[in-house]
Every structure is written in structure tokens, then in C-alpha cells.
Amino acid sequence: MVTGTAEETSQDTSKAQGATPAPGTGLDENQGGAETKAEKMYPQSEVDALLGKAGQRVQAKLSAVTAERDTLKSQAENLTTEITEAKESIASLTKDIEAMSEDNQDKQAIIKLRREKQAELNAAKAERARIAEDQKEVTRHKRDQLVFTVADEFMAADGTSVDLDSFMANADKFHLSDREGLEDLAETMGLKLKGEAPNEPEKPPSPRPYSGITTGGTENYDNLKPEEKISKGLELARKKQGR
């Protein structure tokens, strides 16, 4: 059984290490800072495990969104058929009404039927418009899930996790919504597929004396802004793939 307070335990540990406890804390200031910093560190294996679980949840959501999209598409197609039939029925009833004399007993009944058909048509149009908005939302959500899925397949050049906010922002900026385009974006941002060896830290190049020889038409992207570099990279990727 463990006895004593946390403060006493900390003080004993501090004394055992030859440290001078800070007043009221039982810990040296530098030692306390190191412990605080250590608490914020997580092993990469734990981070990868959490991201793997998140990826599974994203994939499940993606399947659900795909099913919802297919359902909405079917509903929209059915409504389009109803609207077409309602329009044809209204046109036919209108011809019948115009051909009837004012004293025809059936004329008022047909006029009423046409009003009902028009109401059905208006309701079908409103429902189709609502479904169209739902389809846009589902399409956007499906695309976001795809962004998360692709990002989860990559890692930063140093082996750390991908910055999802940055990846999503660039996908939005360049209007990327398919897997091929998102993979091009990952490559252009310098990301690596998980399992590849991370890059070694870059060393500054050694200065070389000027030889008087120029490289001619070689393009230099060093002075471009990050988003301009990404745009150039995507453009080159599309040219290589003939897109």
C-alpha cells in the first residue's frame, strides 16, 4: 500500500536525486519544467494507433455518406419523373378545358383537377429543390471524408502526422475533390506515404564560387510563396499525367 501525500513523494524523489526543492512545490524549477514538457509528449506509435482508429471511423462515415447520396439520387430521379408526368397531365387538361364550352357540366370538374395537378407539380418541384441542396451537402461531406482518408495515408517528410488543417485548406484553395488530385497535392506538399523512410534533416548547401556559367531556362521556385509552389507542383503533376 502507498502512503503519504503526492507532495511528500515528490520531495523524497527530489532529495534522492540531489535536487533542491522549490518552496511549496517539492520540485526544482528546471525539473518541474522538464516533467511538464514530458507530459505533452506522446510516442509516435500511440499517435499512429489513434490516427488508425480515426481512419476507420472516417471510412465508416464515408460508406454511410455514399449510401445516403445514392438514396437522394434515386429520390431526385423519381421526383423528376413525377414532375414530367404532372406537366403532361396539366397540358392535356388545359387543352380539354379550352375545347369545352362554358355550359359544359364537366368543365369545372376538369378545372379543379388541373388545380390539383398544379399543386402536386409545385410540391414535387419544392421537394426536388430540397433534395438538390441535400445532395450538395452530402457531396461536400463525402469530399471532406475523402480528404481525411487520403491525408491519413500520408505523413510529413519528418515522419510526423500530416497537418490536416493545412492539407484541407490547400484542397479547398485548389478545388480538389478526387483522389488523384489529392494525392498530387500530397506529393507537391512534400508528404510521404506511410511506411516510407522519413527524410533526413536538410543541411544548408555549402557556398560555391561563381563559375560564370548560367543554367539558361531552368525555373527557380525558391522565391515563390508556399501556395504558388503548390500550384506549380500541381500543374507539373497534371502535365506529366496528361490531364
Most confident by average pLDDT, 17-21, 185-189, 195-199, 224-228: 185-189
Which amino acid, one-letter code, is at 5? Answer: T
What's the CA gap between 177 and 46, in Å, rounded?
Answer: 30
pLDDT for residue 241: 65
Confidence (pTM): 0.46
For the range 196-203, what are the long-range contacts, defined as Cβ-Cβ under 8 Å and sequence gap of 24 or more? 196/155, 198/155, 198/156, 198/157, 198/158, 198/159, 199/157, 199/158, 201/158
Q: Is the pLDDT of residue 240 over 90?
A: no
C-alpha cell at 65: 455518406
Bridge partners (DSSP) of residue 114 are: none
| Cβ neighbours of 3 (radius 10 Å) | 6
Q: Is the pLDDT of residue 242 over 60?
A: yes
Q: Is the pLDDT of residue 71 over 60?
A: yes
Query: What digits encode the pLDDT tens for the residues 103-130?
Result: 788 888 999 999 999 999 999 999 989 9
Domain boundaries, the chain: 42-138, 153-200
Region 188-204 average pLDDT: 78
193 falls in which pLDDT band (50, 70, 90)? Answer: very high
Cα separations in angstroms, 100 against 94, 104, 110: 10, 6, 10
The H-or-E segment that residue 155 falls in is strand 154-155
Q: Which tops the pLDDT comparison, 187 or 31?
A: 187
Region 207-228 average pLDDT: 57
203 and 153 Cβ atoms separated by less than 8 Å = no
Looking at every residue in the chain, the average pLDDT score rounds to 74
